[in-house]
Amino acid sequence: MARVSGGSEAIVRIGVLALQGDVREHLAAFRRAGAEALPVRTAEELRSVDALALPGGESTTMSRLIRVFGLEAPLRRRLAAGMPTFSTCAGTILLSREILDGTPDQLALGVLDLRTRRNGYGRQLESFELDLELPLAEAGAFRAVFIRAPVIEGCGPGVEVLASHQGRAVAVRQGAHLSFTFHPEMTGDLRLHRLFLATAVGEGAGRRSLPPTETLLPTEDSAA
């Protein structure tokens, strides 16, 4: 099992935002990579996880469902408190600072300093695959599957580009956030899920020894 670094024996618990999209694939990938993984649909479930994966799917639908399920404020609070994230495709769109070709009311949670264009590869190229070189401990190219993928048109100074295609970033790291415009959960290659467990989650989970933000900030109910 993946364990939090720094002497703690706690098993890393990854939440997968489970409102829409390829949730099952992420749950399976994180479990196979040695983490505990559970679907997140409520604020309570969100409170219980060390880190959150935001899957691929449809960012406008997920955006709407985040609001319907009352998750926007709890999500913003956990993100502001430094919760690590692992995001793919639509999930990466949701976390971006600026979304191009989105709907006017679409959520841009803004933890990633990215300008992201939805469906940026155009209609002719709805899906494609390619081999990427990524800085991974275990050698070998990574087969990347792109499905109606966004194009990252701009990255802020704090964003580290891990891989590019046609001069545009397709894999990035920003602090404890690891984000992709493709789908690492679809090929059975666990190296990126493992990278997240080994790096971002270890650091983020270390910060959890501080009191949880929920004890410092009013909850949804008490703030109403």
Binding interface with ligand GLN (CB under 6 A): 56-59, 89-90, 93, 118-119, 147-148
Taking the complex as a whole, how short is the minimal distance between the CB of residue 59 and ligand GLN, in angstroms? Answer: 3
Find, among 44, 55, 131, the residue nearest to 87 by Cα: 55
- Residue of 89, 155, 165, 177 marked catalytic: 89
Per annotation, catalytic residue among 25, 155, 165, 185: 185
Whether 203 is catalytic: no
Nearer to ligand GLN, 115 or 208 (CB): 115
For this structure, is 183 an active site residue? yes
Of 26, 165, 177, 183, the active-site residue reads 183
**What are the E-state strand segments in 29-149?**
36-40, 51-54, 85-88, 96-100, 112-117, 127-132, 142-147
Nearer to ligand GLN, 132 or 217 (CB): 132
| Beta carbons within 10 angstroms of residue 176's beta carbon | 21
Closer residue to ligand GLN (CB): 77 or 117:
117
**Residues facing 99 on adjacent strands:** 116
Of 71, 14, 79, give the one whose Cα is nearest residue 213.
Answer: 79
155: annotated active-site residue: no
- Contact between 132 and 163 (Cβ < 8 Å): yes
Catalytic site residues?
A: 89, 183, 185
